[in-house]
């Protein structure tokens, strides 16, 4: 069960990293301003929470059932982010969408 959960977390993490590959970084920086895009901050938080979830599961701090519930929440947040990308027609979220995703991530972080 742990191996399947770790594999699923790895797949989700790989998908997140693929969207923030160096070419995506170049596209998501405001022209020369050095300002990072909304996609970057949300994905950093997602990756950190997935990593923490993996560590807590491995250490026994969280049970398999708890990990599965939290993983499903993270997966739902990621799906929501992707839906926003499609709605916006670009790989970016609006400030309101970012705030909503950030709030969901904060709620999930309190579970870890």
Rounded CA separation 47/17 (Å): 8
In 3-state terms, what secondary structure has residue 62? coil
- Judging by beta carbons within 10 Å of its beta carbon (0-12, 13-18, 19+), is residue 42 exposed, middle or buried? buried
* Pair 53, 45: CB distance under 8 Å: no
Q: Which two tokens stand for residue 28?
A: 């998501």
Nearest in space to 13 (alpha carbons), one of 75, 58, 55: 75
In the predicted model, is pLDDT for residue 35 greater than 60? no
pLDDT tens digits, 92-111: 889 999 999 999 999 999 88
pLDDT band at 9 (very low <50, low <70, confident <90, very high): low
Length of the chain: 112
* Type and span of the H or E element at 80: helix 64-88
Q: How far apart are CA 37 and CA 69, in angstroms?
A: 29
Give the confidence band of 40 by pLDDT, cuts at 50, 70, 90.
confident
The percentage of residues in the chain with a pLDDT greater than 90, rounded to a whole number, is: 53
């Amino acid at each position: 069960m742990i191996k399947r959960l770790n594999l699923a977390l790895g797949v989700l993490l790989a998908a997140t990293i693929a969207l923030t590959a160096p070419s995506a970084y170049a596209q998501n920086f405001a022209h020369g301003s050095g300002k990072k895009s909304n996609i970057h901050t949300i994905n950093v938080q997602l990756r950190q929470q997935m990593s923490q979830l993996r560590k807590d599961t491995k250490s026994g701090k969280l049970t398999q059932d708890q990990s599965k519930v939290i993983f499903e929440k993270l997966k739902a947040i990621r799906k929501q982010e992707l839906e926003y990308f499609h709605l916006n027609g670009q790989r970016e979220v609006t400030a309101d969408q970012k705030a909503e995703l950030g709030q969901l991530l904060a709620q999930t972080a309190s579970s870890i």
